[in-house]
Amino acid sequence: MLTIIAMSCVFLVLGLLALMMVALRKIVGLTSSKKKEIKDDAGTTLVPDSTSGEKEDRDIIAVISAAISSYFESESVMQPIRILNIRRITPLSLTPWAMAGKQNQMLERNLIRTRKKGGF
């Protein structure tokens, strides 16, 4: 009888924790979706625009272009470079566990190759 009461208490507490996490997610989602407003000295509200993000993108493109051109200058390959498109590559939906497993498999494969070649 004591076991049933103890397990009931555990599941009740777990259920309450789950409900609290769902409620917290909704509360955080409501507060983070609001735009930040800044008030200046005159009392007018200023809403930041998206031009700062565009400036950062231009800066990133400039840095990438400079890195590519310096690489090709050091390789003594003088070709005109024209960057047409820069896009971010989002990783596949790999969980950290899946990535760790793949890295472990690659490490084991490399260890087996070195043993066959006479290493270790």
Q: What is the pLDDT of residues 76-119, one digit of tens each?
A: 556 666 777 777 666 667 788 888 888 899 898 888 777 776 65
Q: How confident is the model at residue 21 (pLDDT cuts 50, 70, 90)?
A: very high
DSSP letters spanning 23-91 = HHHHHHHHHHTSPP-EE-TTS-EE---THHHHHHHHHHHHHHHHHHHHHHHHTT-------------PP
Domain count, the chain: 2
**Which residue range is the domain that position 8 belongs to?**
1-34
5 and 48 fall within a common domain: no
Residue 99 lies in a domain: no
Pick the most confident of 13-27, 36-50, 70-84. 13-27
47 and 81 fall within a common domain: yes
